[in-house]
């Protein structure tokens, strides 16, 4: 059924000053009515807009960053669908970093969640104006006209192309009443639409950050202190200056801000290779600072001690102590997960060209506005003098939303009065990142004589992401607690406590964020409880979730336990959960609600010569209305591989304050020969669209561990599995 929407004319702005003619329709930030936080709404501040040229070509602006997430295709296809545009006449232009585009931060699986309704409104608005323009041209009632495939068609059979209507459309008043398509008439939304960028990927014309070149551009590599927040005591550049291609060696400061550069010694050269070689030749004496004492092994002992004693109570329902006292059986477990690194294939890099108080930047960034703000602040200029150009990203996973590497390029360009490209090495990326938090989690539950959970205690300690913004914070904050306190289980007696955990490195969000440790602990512990209750792990979880209900959380969206149970049942059905497997094979299952999305996975593993092999992963996702099914499938396949890498290999450790890992040799990722068959099942839904990029990650590791237990009788509470020589 189509939907009528009343929209203020002030929500849209027309720009009719195109030299080439045509219609530009811009959408105000105030149209983000479905966004979680609209307190910064500004009238007449255009967001994504539509440019229809007189030749019929259609340019759509993408405000979010493309890093393999398909966002440029998904967002723009929504406009095109509601507009009845011909996809073959669409091209996409990437927006620069600018507040007029609203929130451009491409993380948290929020792009479709926040922008879907706005994209529909823009497409429907444009279509309405074109229909009005055609009716005026033909002198017929608008009710006799409809749009179809880049034309407006009259009931009498005549038709006129969108391009021919652009000049008339731009003279019209903005309509205040629009009609949405009936979803059954969608031709792009919910379908498998080929990426609009695929040809550029295939022919090599897509420009990633590391591809950018400018005339007279220099190249820079930076030596940073091996210990986070350490500083330069002294250095000798003489050996570096003897290397062919090295032009200069410059000390850059540490900027004490959340996204400020760590500082160090920069080598400026005529090529990346010369800069890297010059960096190796530097002789530097470092002042390691207070973090020199950081030992990740000793730290894990410390925070585990904190979770084995009463801590700060964050949520309490009923009386857990009483439930434990009257229990038929008590189960206790402790889970330990290490720091993790993002390790995208394309390392952090940026090009900057500072000229006086103006600056241009080209960078693979997930958050161009924050990057622009940081550059503006460093140069002590105004934002209108800083242009932040967003390139394609060769992976991001949250790392490239932190613009320290961009500010480094700006510092150096200003110093040498030339354009410069900063490129991190893989070793830089592993040793100097914003790490996913380390954690220790203590779980305790009571079972009655029927195997039902009567009490649940979850106590955890982890250095908070907020420690990066407010040094000194030593407890998990807000949403870092919510994924433990808002678990979708129907338990009458529940307590969540948070222990102390100071940060010693830069903590940052990574794909799936806090759902990684909490999803692991909760899903493995639920499996352990099922075994203790002598119940099937699937049936036990369904009983634990309980009745169909909308759970009220601090978020504006309530999660639906019926949808959660549905993905569990479908994943089990797709895997033939109750059917016997070949000898030496076993299934494990896990389910997680994250980013407003419901995901369950069943993983099939076997063991040969004491080594684990994953054969199949059956994942079901309910993310509401699907925009592009091919993108959803790709994201779930990627999430499975990402989750496997974390389960088998992900581990960052520190000794004497220095990160011990260097590259893929000691921080490995899953290889092609290890990748299983990934079966993705997408639930059809008319609910509002929700996150896709991250929700598939947290179920993988616990499902693997649960399968290993079923196969071997041994349960693993700590990751990665490579520590146990299982891979």
The mean pLDDT of 433-462, rounded to a whole number, is 98
Inter-residue contact 350 to 413 (CB < 8 Å): no
The domain segmentation of the chain, as residue ranges, is: 4-195, 209-289+348-423, 296-340+434-724
69-105 in b/e burial notation, b at 16+ Cβ within 10 A? bbbbbbbbbbbbbbbbbbbebbebebbbbbebbbbbb
Give how far the C-alpha of residue 192 lies from the chain's centroid of Cα atoms, to the nearest Å.
Answer: 22
Which comes out higher in pLDDT, residue 37 or 312? 312
Instruction: Read off the pLDDT of each residue in 380-403 and give the average, rounded to a whole number.
Output: 97
Q: What letters, b where the CB count within 10 A reaches 16 and e where it falls short, cover 491-529?
A: bebbbbbbbbbbbbbbbbbbbbbbbbbbbbbbbbbbbbb
- What would the 3-class secondary structure string for 654-690 be? EECCEECCCCCCCCCCCCHHHCCEEEEEECCCCCCCC
Residue 89 is given by DSSP the state G
Q: For the segment 643-656, what is each residue's pLDDT rounded down to a tens digit?
A: 999 999 999 999 99
Cβ atoms 303, 499 nearer than 8 A: yes
| H/E element, 573 | helix 561-574
3-state secondary structure of 191: strand
Beta-carbon contacts of 362 under 8 Å, excluding residues fewer than 6 positions away, are 209, 212, 350, 351, 389, 391
Three-state secondary structure call for residue 189: coil
Q: Which of 62, 58, 119 is nearest to 89 (CA)?
A: 58
SS3 129: helix
**How confident is the model at residue 34, as a pLDDT?**
43
Distance between CA atoms of residues 643 and 678, nearest Å: 12
Structure tokens at 185: 């008439």
Structure tokens at 509: 């969000």
What's the pLDDT score for residue 556? 67
Question: pLDDT band for position 173 (50/70/90)?
Answer: confident
Measured distance CA(696)–CA(691) in Å, rounded: 10
Q: Domain spanning 209-289+348-423 has what CATH number?
A: 3.30.365.10
Separation CA 24–CA 520 (nearest Å): 48
pTM for this entry: 0.94
Predicted pLDDT of residue 35 = 43
3-state secondary structure of 169: helix
The domain 4-195 is placed in CATH, from the list 3.30.530.20, 3.40.1640.10, 3.30.365.10, 3.30.1130.10, at 3.30.365.10
**Least confident interval from 112-116, 176-180, 645-649:** 176-180
At 558, the pLDDT band (50, 70, 90 cuts) reads confident
Q: Does domain 296-340+434-724 have CATH number 1.10.600.10?
A: no
Q: Is 287 helix (H, G, I), strand (E, B) or coil?
A: strand
| pLDDT of res. 47 | 35
Q: Find out whether 278 and 240 touch, Cβ atoms under 8 Å.
A: yes
What pLDDT score does 197 carry? Answer: 94
Calpha distance 130→137 (Å, rounded): 10
Predicted local distance difference test score (pLDDT) of residue 46: 30
What does the pLDDT read at residue 17?
35
Find how far residue 475's CA is from the centre of its chain: 23
- Dihedral angle computed from the Cα positions of residues 195, 196, 200 and 206, in that order, rounded to the nearest 10 degrees: -100
Q: Do domains 209-289+348-423 and 296-340+434-724 have the same CATH topology?
A: yes
SS3 of 592-637: EEECCEEEEEEEEEEEECCEEEEEEEEEEEECCCCCEHHHHHHHHH
C-alpha span between 368 and 212 (Å, rounded): 17
What's the pLDDT score for residue 559?
A: 86
Phi, psi for 70 (deg, rounded to 5): 70, 15
pLDDT range class, residue 26, cuts 50, 70, 90: low
677-682/559-560 β-pairing: unpaired
Q: Provide the 3-class DSSP secondary structure of residue 719.
A: coil
Q: Which residues contact 477 (CB under 8 A, 6 or more apart)?
A: 464, 465, 466
**Going by C-beta distance under 8 Å and a sequence separation of 6 or more, which residues neighbour residue 108?**
509, 595, 691, 694
Query: Is pLDDT at 662 greater than 50 in this prediction?
Result: yes
Three-class SS of residue 401? helix
State how far the Cα of 168 lies from the Cα of 54, in Å rounded to an integer. Answer: 10
- How far is the C-alpha of 646 from the C-alpha of 702, rounded, in Å? 11
- At 8 the pLDDT is 56
Please report the pLDDT score of residue 246 as a whole number: 98
Average pLDDT of the residues of the chain: 93
Q: For 299-314, what is the mean pLDDT?
A: 98
Which has the closest alpha carbon to 118: 208, 218, 5? Answer: 5
Q: What is the mean pLDDT of residues 507-518?
A: 97
Nearest to 603 by CA among 579, 572, 630: 572
> Could you give the CA distance from residue 544 to residue 341 in angstroms, rounded to a whole number?
33
Question: Does residue 29 sit in helix, strand or coil?
Answer: helix
Q: For residues 590 and 519, is the Cβ–Cβ distance under 8 A?
A: yes
> Burial of 375 by CB count in 10 Å (0-12 exposed, 13-18 middle, 19+ buried)?
buried
Cα–Cα distance, 113 to 691 (Å, whole number): 6
Rounded distance, CA 575 to CA 96, Å? 45
Is the pLDDT reported for residue 23 higher than 70? no
pLDDT score of 16: 36
Q: Are 615 and 678 in contact (CB under 8 A)?
A: no
What single string gives the DSSP state of each residue in 414-477? HHHTS-EEEE--HHHHHHSS-BBPPEEEEEEEEE-TTS-EEEEEEEEE---GGGGTSTT--S--
Q: What is the mean pLDDT of residues 281-304?
A: 97
- Extract the tokens encoding 453: 């959970």
> What torsion do the CA atoms of 698, 702, 704, 708 make, to the nearest 10 degrees?
170
> In whole angstroms, how far apart are CA 616 and each of 77, 613, 675?
32, 10, 9
């Amino acid at each position: 059924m189509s939907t009528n929407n009343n929209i203020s004319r002030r929500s849209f702005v027309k720009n009719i000053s195109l030299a080439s003619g045509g219609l530009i329709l811009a959408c105000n930030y105030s149209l983000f009515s479905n966004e979680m936080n609209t307190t910064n709404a500004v009238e007449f501040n255009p967001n994504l807009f539509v440019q229809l040229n007189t030749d019929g070509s259609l340019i759509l602006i993408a405000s979010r960053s493309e890093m393999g997430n398909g966002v440029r295709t998904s967002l723009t296809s929504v406009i095109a669908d509601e507009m009845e545009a011909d996809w073959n006449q669409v091209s996409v232009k990437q927006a620069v970093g600018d507040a007029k585009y609203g929130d451009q931060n491409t993380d948290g699986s929020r792009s479709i969640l926040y922008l879907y309704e706005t994209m529909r409104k823009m497409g429907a608005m444009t279509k309405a104006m074109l229909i009005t323009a055609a009716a005026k041209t033909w002198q017929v009632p608008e009710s006799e006209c409809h749009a179809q495939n880049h034309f407006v068609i009259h009931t009498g059979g005549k038709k006129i192309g969108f391009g021919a209507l652009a000049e008339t459309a731009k003279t019209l008043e903005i309509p205040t009443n629009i009609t949405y398509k009936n979803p059954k008439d969608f031709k792009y939304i919910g379908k498998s639409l080929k990426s609009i960028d695929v040809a550029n990927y295939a022919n090599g014309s897509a420009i990633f950050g590391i591809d950018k070149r400018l005339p007279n551009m220099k190249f820079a590599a930076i030596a940073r202190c091996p210990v986070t927040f350490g500083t330069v005591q002294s250095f000798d550049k003489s050996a570096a200056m003897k290397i062919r291609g090295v032009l200069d060696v410059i000390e850059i400061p540490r900027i004490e801000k959340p996204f400020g550069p760590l500082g160090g010694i920069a080598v400026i050269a005529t090529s990346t290779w010369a800069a890297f070689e010059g960096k190796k030749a530097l002789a530097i004496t470092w002042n390691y600072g207070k973090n020199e004492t950081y030992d990740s092994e000793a730290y894990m002992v410390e925070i585990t001690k904190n979770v084995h004693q009463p801590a700060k109570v964050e949520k309490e329902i009923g009386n857990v102590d009483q439930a434990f006292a009257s229990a038929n059986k008590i189960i206790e477990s402790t889970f330990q997960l290490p720091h993790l690194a993002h390790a995208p294939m394309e390392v952090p890099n940026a090009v900057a060209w500072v000229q006086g108080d103006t600056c241009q930047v080209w960078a693979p960034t997930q958050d161009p506005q924050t990057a622009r703000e940081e550059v503006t602040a460093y140069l002590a200029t105004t934002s209108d003098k800083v242009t932040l150009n967003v390139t394609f990203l060769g992976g991001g996973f949250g790392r490239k939303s932190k613009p320290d590497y961009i500010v480094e390029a700006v510092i150096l360009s200003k110093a040498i009065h030339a354009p410069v490209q900063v490129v991190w090495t893989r070793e830089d990326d592993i040793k100097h990142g914003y790490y996913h938090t380390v954690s220790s989690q203590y779980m305790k539950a009571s079972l009655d004589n029927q195997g039902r959970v009567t009490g649940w205690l979850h106590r955890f300690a982890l250095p908070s992401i907020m420690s990066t913004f407010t040094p000194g914070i030593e407890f998990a904050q807000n949403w870092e607690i919510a994924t433990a306190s808002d678990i979708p289980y129907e338990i009458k007696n529940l307590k969540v406590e948070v222990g102390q955990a100071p940060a010693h490195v830069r903590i940052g969000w990574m794909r799936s964020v806090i759902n990684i440790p909490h999803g692991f602990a909760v899903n493995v512990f639920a499996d352990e409880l099922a075994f203790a209750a002598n119940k099937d792990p699937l049936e036990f979880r369904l009983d634990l979730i309980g009745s169909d209900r909308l759970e009220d959380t601090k978020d504006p969206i309530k999660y639906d336990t019926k949808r959660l149970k549905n993905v569990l049942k479908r994943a089990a059905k797709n895997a033939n959960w109750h059917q016997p497997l070949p000898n030496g094979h076993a299934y494990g299952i896990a389910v997680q609600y994250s980013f407003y999305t419901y995901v369950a996975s069943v993983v099939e593993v076997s063991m040969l010569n004491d080594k684990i092999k994953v054969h199949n992963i059956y994942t079901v996702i309910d993310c509401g209305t699907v925009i592009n099914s091919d993108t959803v499938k790709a994201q779930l396949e990627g999430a499975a591989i990402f989750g496997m890498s974390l389960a088998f290999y992900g581990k960052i450790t520190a000794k004497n304050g220095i990160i011990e890992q260097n590259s893929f040799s000691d921080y490995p990722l899953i290889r092609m020969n290890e990748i299983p068959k990934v079966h993705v099942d997408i639930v059809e839904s008319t609910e509002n669209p929700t996150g896709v990029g991250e929700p598939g990650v947290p179920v993988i590791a616990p499902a693997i561990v649960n399968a290993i237990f079923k196969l071997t009788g041994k349960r693993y509470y700590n990751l990665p599995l490579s520590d146990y020589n299982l891979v």
